[in-house]
Amino acid sequence: MKGLLKLLLLTDACFIFAAGLFGPIYAIFVQRIGGDLLDAGWAWAAFTLTSGIVIFLLSGWEDRVVHYEQLIIGGYALRSIGIFCYLLISTPMQLLVVQVLIGLSLALSSPAYDALYSKSLEKGKEASQWGDWESMDFIVSAFAAIIGSAIAMAFGFATLFFIMFLISLAGVFVSIMLIPKFSHQFREFIAAKAGVFRR
């Protein structure tokens, strides 16, 4: 597998894991801030509807973008901000606004990510390499669901959200390596450090 595909899988895994920590207990959080199941539905609909509409509007423009990496990094950075905003939520209306923000971030990065991933596939391995992404998505989400529930039960939602933010921030920094210049500099840095330790 190409290095770029591995990097794309790693950076997306960070965000899938961060989101997966919260997903199964989302409705419980809505109740904690004074909402009900209908509020949970509205907030989730705000996220998905924003993502769907903005992806439809932006994807044609993204076809003409030369550097998909910049859109991916920008979308991930915006998503990290959205995740941090979970720490500030105290009402269902605030949750709805944050869900719209996260929906926008997904709409910005998702088509660009899919395009860059598709361009990086090895000929004859398209199914298996998309299968790598699908497998990663399900497996990471499964572990995140268990871990997120345990963290929220033991330490509360504030701790969970802070951990989610840190993981998403790590994903942003990893995504910067998608820019060839930074990726090259990082490999040189690692090679230099490895040389020091071998001496």
Identify the pLDDT of residue 60.
83
Between CA 77 and CA 113 the distance in angstroms is 14
Between CA 135 and CA 120 the distance in angstroms is 18
User: Class assignment of domain 3-198?
Assistant: mainly alpha
User: Which positions ≥6 away from 103 have C-beta within 8 Å?
Assistant: 46, 47, 48, 49, 50, 51, 54
Identify the pLDDT of residue 197.
46
What is the mean pLDDT of each successive set of 10 residues along the chain, which is 199 residues long? 86 96 93 93 95 91 81 95 96 96 95 92 92 96 96 96 97 89 54 50
Report yes or no: 15 and 139 within 8 Å, Cβ to Cβ.
Answer: no
Identify the pLDDT of residue 42.
95
Identify the pLDDT of residue 1.
60
Domain boundaries, the chain: 3-198
